[in-house]
């Protein structure tokens, strides 16, 4: 046997032992992996560019868009909508009657409540009126929308101010809790 073949065999033995050691030392222990990768505060689902339709008897009632959504199932079933969201509310005829937008929102499925904050706008398309506030709640069970925060309502008829407001999701009628500012009325 030549000297070079003898050295080649000597190199193959340690390489073979190293490869065998690597192959037989790998054990997937699920509990150990979860300790390293599991975060109890992490969402169960993450969705980019979310688009959801809620229907009733085959007719669209609500349409929700969000750039980023995180869904948690424990301790409560909540979806957090981040980086901007838009909600379209439909009439019985299937026409968009109002649109809600904000930078952040949370849907609490257990309570049927939708909470939005940061640059909140509710716009009625037919009346061309817009509600502006920083915090707003939408009760999905009775379609009511309300807040106790400062509110501005702009329309072709003028600008109204108040602290707190209640309305329905179509925003055709609203009631201020504490209106303030000057309001001019026509004789009509």
| pTM score, whole prediction | 0.75
Residue 188 CA to its chain's centroid (Å):
43
Please write the tens of the pLDDT for every residue from 64-123: 999 999 999 988 999 999 999 999 999 988 899 999 999 999 999 999 999 999 999 999
Residue 17 banded pLDDT, cuts 50, 70, 90? low
Q: Is residue 76 within 8 Å of residue 108, measured between CB atoms? A: yes
Computed over its alpha carbons, how large is the radius of gyration of the chain?
A: 29
**Per-residue pLDDT at 27:** 60
Residue 139 banded pLDDT, cuts 50, 70, 90? very high
Q: Where are the domains of the chain?
A: 3-36, 43-180
Q: What class does CATH assign to 43-180?
A: mainly beta
Q: Is residue 149 within 8 Å of residue 132, measured between CB atoms? A: no
Q: Give ∠ CA 94-132-104 in degrees, rounded to 5.
A: 80
């Amino acid at each position: 046997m030549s000297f070079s073949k003898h050295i080649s065999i000597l190199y193959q033995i340690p390489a073979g032992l190293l490869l065998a050691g690597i192959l037989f030392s790998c054990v997937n222990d699920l509990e150990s992996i979860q300790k390293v990768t599991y975060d109890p505060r992490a969402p169960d689902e993450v969705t980019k560019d979310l688009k959801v339709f809620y229907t009733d008897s085959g007719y669209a009632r609500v349409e929700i868009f969000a750039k980023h959504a995180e869904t948690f199932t424990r301790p409560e079933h909540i979806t957090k909508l981040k980086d901007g969201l838009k909600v379209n509310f439909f009439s019985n005829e299937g026409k968009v009657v109002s649109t809600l937008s904000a930078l952040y929102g949370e849907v609490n499925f257990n309570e049927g409540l939708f909470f939005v904050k940061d640059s909140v706008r509710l716009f009625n398309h037919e009346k061309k009126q817009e509600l502006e506030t920083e915090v707003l709640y939408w009760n999905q069970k009775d379609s009511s929308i309300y807040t106790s925060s400062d509110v501005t309502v702009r329309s072709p008829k003028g600008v109204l101010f108040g602290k707190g407001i209640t309305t329905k999701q179509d925003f055709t009628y609203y009631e201020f809790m504490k209106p303030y500012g000057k309001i001019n009325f026509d004789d009509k």
